[in-house]
């Protein structure tokens, strides 16, 4: 194939997938295959000070991997080799990865493998790590996270010692944490610790321009911490249709990409973000996101202004994850941040069954009381000015009053006292 034809194939692929990212695939099969296998590769970036390079697009593992082995193989071919999962993920995520590595053992060293522990104790983390190694048919994890911390005080000297021993034993290469709430605060404190290798945090066009998130990212860069962005689509607990959203969609489409791809590109424009973790349960989404990662198209200043305008118009629909602010203004233990996240799963990501199951893991007494709480002070303090009281009542009705039949239960799994919660849906 000539250089001229190669350039055409790349452009044709990117434009085709950009336009049809959420629909049918219209590109000719042969040129697409040639472009994907011979030319197109998702770029890589350094992951902090670790010395590892990772694909800028990461495959979120909360889907039925066991039944999507060809998707996994295609991800490797296109260079989507940062794979993210957790011991507690439903749908047999780790088992599915183990099935893949058993069939394609040569791909293990090509994949930067990440999994997570819900436990905070050395004993619990050891148990879950060993179980993850067994399920995924591997003898090491590239990056091991403590899953979903609310504050840096959940990590202590015992955690540091455990991580050092796990590294020395060759079971993990790097260590860090994921966080959905109080992200910037957790990042700032992690930068001061000096022993955190990587962080996965909520980061999108809504949050990336805030002063506190800018400070947090800068601090992590100086500390050499690798950063993975999740929830990059910026979906909230309320779905609002606006004229700005329509304007964005039309403008982006004219340029050959979707608004969903635009939100990814907005994050990638920060070179300090090593990777974006995205839930890609089918080939269409994988192709759309990979095309965005491979493209040379950059967002214009007007494109970025449109995203910011949309964020401003819909700010009260989006929970920014600063749970410590609102929860401290409410009497009793009310997990507002978690409930807002579960509403987001249901309303923005279409994961209603998953949202129901997570909501039902909240203690029954708390669920019963949360709809009667006074949220007026929390609403006053909320930087996003969200209608917290209304949303909590809506959550109780939409997510709580469901039968086990209506809200699909996860497959039977071995439980331990150290398993707290399964979360981290990426998009």
Helix (H, G, I), strand (E, B) or coil at 215: helix
Tens-digit pLDDT profile for the chain (427 aa)?
A: 433 333 334 444 444 444 333 333 333 333 444 444 455 899 999 999 999 999 999 999 988 999 999 999 999 999 999 999 999 887 789 999 999 999 999 999 999 999 999 999 999 999 999 999 999 999 999 999 999 999 999 999 999 999 999 999 999 999 999 999 999 999 999 999 999 999 999 999 999 999 999 999 999 999 999 999 999 988 766 666 778 888 888 888 888 888 889 999 999 999 999 999 999 999 999 999 999 999 856 788 888 888 888 888 888 888 888 888 998 999 888 999 889 888 888 887 777 888 898 898 899 888 888 888 899 999 999 988 989 989 989 888 889 864 333 333 333 333 333 333 333 333 3
Q: Which fold has domain 43-300?
A: TIM Barrel (3.20.20)
β-bridge mates for residue 230, sequence order? 202
The C-alpha atoms of residue 188 and residue 324 are separated, in whole angstroms, by 15
pTM of the model: 0.76
- Torsion angle (degrees, nearest 10) of CA 374, 360, 119, 227: -70
Neighbours of 244 (CB within 10 A): 17
The token pair at 237 is 């607990």
Element (H, E) at 284: helix 283-294
Backbone angles phi, psi at 264, to 5 degrees: -65, -45
Exposure pattern of 299-329 as b/e (b: 16+ CB <10 Å)?
beeebbebbbebbeebebbbbbbbbebbbeb
Q: Where are the domains of the chain?
A: 1-40, 43-300, 319-400
Residues 6+ apart with CB under 8 A from 253: 19
Closest of 17, 15, 250, 53 to residue 142, by C-alpha: 53
């Amino acid at each position: 194939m000539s250089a001229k034809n190669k350039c055409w194939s790349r452009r044709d692929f990117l434009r085709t997938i950009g336009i049809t990212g959420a629909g049918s695939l219209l590109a000719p099969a042969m040129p697409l295959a040639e472009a994907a296998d011979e030319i197109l590769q998702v770029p890589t970036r350094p992951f902090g000070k670790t010395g590892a390079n990772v694909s800028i697009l990461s495959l979120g593992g909360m889907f039925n991997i066991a039944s999507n082995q060809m998707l996994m193989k295609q991800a490797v071919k296109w260079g989507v080799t940062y794979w993210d999962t957790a011991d507690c993920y439903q749908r047999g995520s780790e088992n599915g990865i183990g099935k893949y590595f058993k069939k394609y053992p040569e791909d293990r060293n090509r994949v930067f493998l990440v999994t997570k522990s819900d436990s905070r104790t050395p004993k619990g983390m050891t148990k879950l790590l060993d179980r993850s190694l067994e399920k995924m048919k591997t003898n090491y994890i590239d990056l091991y996270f403590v899953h979903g911390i609310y504050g840096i005080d959940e990590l202590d000297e015992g955690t540091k010692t455990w991580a050092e021993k796990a590294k020395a034993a060759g079971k993990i290469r790097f260590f860090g944490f994921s966080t959905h709430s109080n992200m910037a605060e957790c990042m700032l404190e992690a930068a001061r610790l000096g022993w955190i290798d990587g962080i996965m945090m909520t980061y999108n066009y809504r949050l990336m321009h805030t002063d506190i998130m800018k400070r947090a990212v800068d601090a992590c860069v100086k500390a050499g911490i690798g950063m993975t962005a999740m929830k990059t689509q910026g979906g909230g607990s309320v779905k609002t249709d606006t004229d700005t959203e329509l304007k964005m969609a039309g403008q982006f489409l004219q340029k050959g990409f979707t608004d969903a791809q635009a939100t990814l590109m907005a994050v990638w424009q920060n070179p300090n973000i090593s990777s974006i973790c995205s839930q890609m349960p089918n080939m269409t989404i994988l192709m759309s996101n990979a095309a965005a990662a491979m493209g040379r198209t950059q967002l214009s200043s007007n494109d970025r202004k449109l995203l910011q305008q949309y964020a401003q118009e819909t700010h009260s629909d989006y929970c920014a994850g600063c749970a410590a602010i609102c929860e401290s203004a409410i009497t009793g233990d009310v997990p507002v941040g978690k409930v807002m996240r579960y509403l987001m799963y249901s309303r923005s990501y279409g994961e209603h069954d998953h949202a129901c199951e997570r909501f039902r893991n909240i203690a029954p007494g708390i669920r019963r009381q949360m709809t009667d709480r006074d949220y007026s002070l929390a609403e006053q303090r909320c930087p996003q000015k969200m209608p917290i009281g209304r949303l909590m009542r809506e959550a109780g009705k939409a997510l709580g009053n469901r039968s086990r039949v209506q809200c699909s239960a996860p497959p039977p799994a071995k439980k331990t006292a150290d398993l707290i919660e399964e979360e981290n849906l990426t998009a």
